[in-house]
Every structure is written in structure tokens, then in C-alpha cells.
């Protein structure tokens, strides 16, 4: 009886380890690219970047512990707001980030460094700039599985023998718009949707379960290129 309880506790601990990614706090990390410092702004206006709007659905499902039941092949999670769900697991390290603010601050830093505008800055007041860059967060879906193969508390033995332990997926969808504050004219708009998959993974090499900062970085690289192309258009330049 004691052995069975011990094995159950071990499996639950491993499931918690899986939920916490690499068993350490994961904070938001973002660094801007290098741009020519002598480039003159294409648009001599100040861009305000307020916190992004959160348009994500409120739908979160956690059935990880089903993997402990005999004959059940796997347990899974499917989170629309993963950072909030992680905070509910008080015994686990949590993701230290806020999507709405961190995305907006990163976007402001990237645009300011790009020298496309006179200045770009993060602010709680959208009216502080000549232009406003808005971001709508449509998805930060996180979903994954842990495989027990129907062997319940004996599953770790199969993992160590070489069978996959589980899967990890991140999805990020954001829409950007650039608007002229003076007349409300839409200067630029573009939507992005990216995904990160580690399927399957093995217990000997558990990957990071958080790739949102890298996906957002890839988005911002294209945002800069797309804005540069749009701002070079004569119709937009005439509105300066």
C-alpha cells in the first residue's frame, strides 16, 4: 500500500514538473534589434503605444490528472489565458509576465529603435502621441498532453524506457493598427498568427513550454519591415 501511494506521489510530482516547464520561473525576455543610428525618420511624428487590448476568450481546461487513472492514455490542458491558470497553482513557479503591458512595451522599444518615427513610447494614455499603435491580443492559446499510455502510476517507467512523455503547443495571434490621432485615419493594419510546437518530447530533454516572447519578436521584425514599406508610400508621406 505504501509503495502504491509513493508511486502515485511520484507521478503527480512529475506531472507538476511538466506543468511548470523547466521547474523555474519563466519571465518575459525581449531585446530590440540593431538599426542604423544615422537614419532619418520616415515619419516625423511621435507614436504612442498603449497597453494592448485583451480579446482572448475565457476558456481554460485542465485534465492532466486523468493520466493517473488506469486505462486512460493521457491527460491534457487547453488554456486561453495560460498565465492566469499558472498563477492558480500556488505550489508551482509561475510565468512572470503580463501580455497586455509586455507586448506594448516591447513594440514601443522596437519601433523607437527602428528610427521609423520621431519617437515611439509606451504610455497608458493613447492621446499622448501624434499617432497611436494599437495591438489586439486575440490568442495566446497553450495546450499540451502528458502520456500515461493507460499505465497510470507506472507511466514514468515507460518514459525512461524511451516512450514520449507529452506534447507542448503555444499559439500567438495579434492584430496591429496604426492610426493618426489628428484625423482618425488608419495608416496601417496587419494581423499575425504564429505557433510553437514540441510534439512529442521525451523526459530526457523537456523543452521550454513558453515561446511567446520569441514569437512576438518574429512578429515585430515583420511589423518594422511592413511599416517601412507602407511609410515609404507617397500617399502616406503626403499626410505627414
- Which pTM was predicted? 0.84
Q: Which three cell numbers stand for residue 138?
A: 486575440
The least confident of 7-11, 57-61, 131-135, 192-196 is: 7-11
Tell me the C-alpha distance between 142 and 158, whole Å.
25
The least confident of 35-39, 54-58, 87-91 is: 87-91
Tell me the C-alpha distance between 209 and 35, whole Å.
31
Q: Which three cell numbers stand for residue 139?
A: 490568442
Note the pLDDT tens digit of each residue in 144-202.
Answer: 999 999 998 888 889 999 999 999 999 999 999 999 998 999 999 999 999 999 989 99
Q: Give burial (CB, 10 Å; 0-12/13-18/19+) of 186.
A: exposed
Angle subtended by helix axes 212-231 and 99-114, to nearest 10: 40
How many folded domains does the chain comprise? Answer: 1
Could you tell me the residue range of the domain that residue 171 belongs to? 2-237
Q: Which three cell numbers stand for residue 222?
A: 515583420
Residue 146 belongs to a domain with what CATH number? 3.40.50.10610
Q: What's the confidence (pLDDT) of residue 111?
A: 97
Note the pLDDT tens digit of each residue in 26-47.
Answer: 678 888 988 887 778 889 999 9
Amino acid at each position: 500500500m505504501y509503495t502504491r501511494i509513493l508511486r502515485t506521489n511520484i507521478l503527480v510530482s512529475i506531472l507538476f514538473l511538466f506543468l511548470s516547464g523547466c521547474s523555474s520561473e519563466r519571465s518575459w525576455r525581449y531585446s530590440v534589434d540593431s538599426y542604423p543610428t544615422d537614419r532619418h525618420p520616415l515619419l516625423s511624428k511621435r507614436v504612442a503605444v498603449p497597453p494592448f487590448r485583451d480579446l482572448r476568450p475565457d476558456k481554460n481546461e485542465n485534465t492532466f490528472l486523468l493520466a493517473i487513472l488506469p486505462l486512460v492514455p493521457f491527460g491534457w490542458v487547453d488554456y486561453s489565458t495560460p498565465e492566469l491558470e499558472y498563477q492558480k497553482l500556488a505550489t508551482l513557479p509561475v510565468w512572470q509576465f503580463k501580455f497586455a503591458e509586455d507586448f506594448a512595451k516591447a513594440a514601443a522599444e522596437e519601433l523607437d529603435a527602428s528610427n521609423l518615427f520621431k519617437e515611439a513610447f509606451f504610455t497608458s494614455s493613447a492621446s499622448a502621441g501624434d499617432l497611436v499603435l494599437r495591438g489586439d491580443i486575440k490568442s495566446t492559446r497553450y495546450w499540451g498532453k502528458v502520456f500515461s499510455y493507460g499505465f497510470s502510476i507506472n507511466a514514468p517507467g515507460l518514459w525512461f524506457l524511451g516512450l514520449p512523455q507529452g506534447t507542448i503547443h503555444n499559439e500567438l495571434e495579434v492584430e496591429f493598427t496604426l492610426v493618426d490621432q489628428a484625423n482618425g485615419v488608419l495608416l496601417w493594419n496587419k494581423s499575425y498568427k504564429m505557433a510553437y510546437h514540441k510534439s512529442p518530447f521525451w523526459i530526457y530533454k523537456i523543452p521550454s513550454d513558453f515561446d511567446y516572447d520569441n514569437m512576438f519578436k518574429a512578429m515585430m521584425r515583420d511589423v518594422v519591415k511592413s511599416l517601412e514599406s507602407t511609410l515609404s508610400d507617397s500617399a502616406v508621406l503626403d499626410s505627414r
